[in-house]
Structure 1
Amino acid sequence: MGKVTKESFLSNVAEHKLEVLLDNGLYRHLKVRNPKTSNQWYQITTWPDYLCISGDMGCFTFSRIEDMFQFFRDKDLGVCLQYYAEKLQAGMHYRDAEGIFKEFSIDEAKKYARELKRERITEAGRDKDAIRKIHEDFENLLKAEEEHEFYRELQDLDYDLCDLPDFYEFKYYYIWCCYAIAHAINLYDQSKQSN
């Protein structure tokens, strides 16, 4: 699937058109889609203090200020992924929703493991037996393919798991939807200016 960038998002929605289904003050319902296909269509629904994006790319509801268009409005499609995540509505706190917008990155975890391995080899100096043991110890860790396997192997190395960095990254669909919100608001603003 790759990473979502502003450029890749804009390519995805190049043929999308805005349909305003409701526009009554803070109560809005916008639908954005390519008229030729339902692929990657989405809709934005707002009511006082809330904005919900739903459709082909997922569903996320945010709350921050009375008019959420003001909160997300950005002509350049700048997105503040972490700040937006803090405004997600799920459970009692945005951390309850973390599984919705973040996922474990095995690539980041392995990058960290390779750095840790290099540090241990440096500490071993010229001790060939110690270096051979380090290579053996890290072999399974660097072969890990998923989160639980990675942590189990790391724990087997007697590594203090409390000192680990965050190996999580924002999910593809969450990033895409954050861009889509700003995109829809831009289309909405353009439609208001042309009327």
Structure 2
Amino acid sequence: MTHPTALPVVPDRTAISRDRFAEATAGHQMTVLHDDGLYRHLRFRNPNRGEYWYDLITAPGTLTITGDMGDFLFRRVEDMFDFFGRRSATINGHYWAQKVIAGTPHEFDADVYKQNLTQEFFDVIDGLSHADRDDLWEAIEWQLFTAESAESAHIAMSEWDDSRMPLEDSFEIEVTSLSTTFLWCCWAIVTGIATYTDAQRR
């Protein structure tokens, strides 16, 4: 077994979720269920099938997205359509996640976890022989990379006791990222707001 010589690539979840959203909602239409100032209830759904529908609901200071791909409640400014942008073509997932007051925007990301541990490995191998490097990497794969959740990853790192790669500050090693579900909902929000804004201008 040989050790890696480059960091593993972490997939671009923002781009992946954008493409999945566009494909899943290509036939969606907007229905305005309520529209009274800052009180809005908009539904987006394909009239020919029920999958991937979602609602946007606003009240002063809040926006809720609910539907097939998850539920999130945001709080920031009086009119949340202004917060997300009336005609935005991009999302700001990391910042928007800070404004979530209900829902879980992050999830365990094995790719991020493995990339960060690989960086820890690279930081210590200069003083190791090739045999030690391979042996250390084998231990990492067997003892750390088997984690399947954020909790099990942190437990594995806390139990790690190989002095060749100390993990005293393992709690600082990132093991999560924004979930594809949350990012999908972010794309749904900006697309829904843009659709509503365009309809208002007609």
* Correspondence list, 1:129-148, <5 A: 130-131=132-133, 133-141=135-143, 143-147=145-149, 148=151
Q: Is 1:82 aligned to residue 94 of structure 2?
A: yes
* Correspondence list, 1:45-64, <5 A: 45-64=57-76
TM-score (norm 1): 0.82
- Aligned counterpart in structure 2 of residue 117 of structure 1, from 121, 128, 144: 121
Which stretches of structure 1, 4 residues or more, deviate above 6 A after TM superposition? none
Q: Is 1:193 aligned to residue 201 of structure 2?
A: yes
Q: Is 1:178 aligned to residue 178 of structure 2?
A: no
For the residue of structure 2 that corresponds to 1:35, the secondary structure is coil
- Aligned counterpart in structure 1 of residue 38 of structure 2, from 7, 10, 26: 26
Greater Cα offset, 135-144 or 25-34 = 135-144
TM-score (norm 2): 0.79
User: Larger helix proportion, structure 1 or 2?
Assistant: 1
For the residues of structure 1 that align with 2:141 and 2:124, how far apart are their CA atoms?
Answer: 14
Unmatched 5+ stretches in structure 1: 91-96
Q: 8 Å contact 1:50–1:66 — kept in the other structure?
A: yes
Aligned sequence identity (%)? 30
Number of residue pairs matched by the alignment:
183
For the residues of structure 2 that align with 1:114 and 1:75, how far apart are their CA atoms?
Answer: 40
CA deviation after TM superposition for structure 1 residue 191, in Å: 1.1
Unmatched 5+ stretches in structure 2: 1-11
Q: 8 Å contact 2:41–2:58 — kept in the other structure?
A: yes
The alignment's C-alpha RMSD in Å is 2.3
- Aligned counterpart in structure 2 of residue 104 of structure 1, from 86, 108, 125: 108
- Aligned counterpart in structure 1 of residue 54 of structure 2, from 42, 50, 54: 42
Greater Cα offset, 33-42 or 70-79 = 70-79
Bigger RCO (CA 8 Å, 6+ sep): 2
CA deviation after TM superposition for structure 1 residue 47, in Å: 0.8
Corresponding letter in the other structure for 1:48:
P
CA deviation after TM superposition for structure 1 residue 171, in Å: 0.8
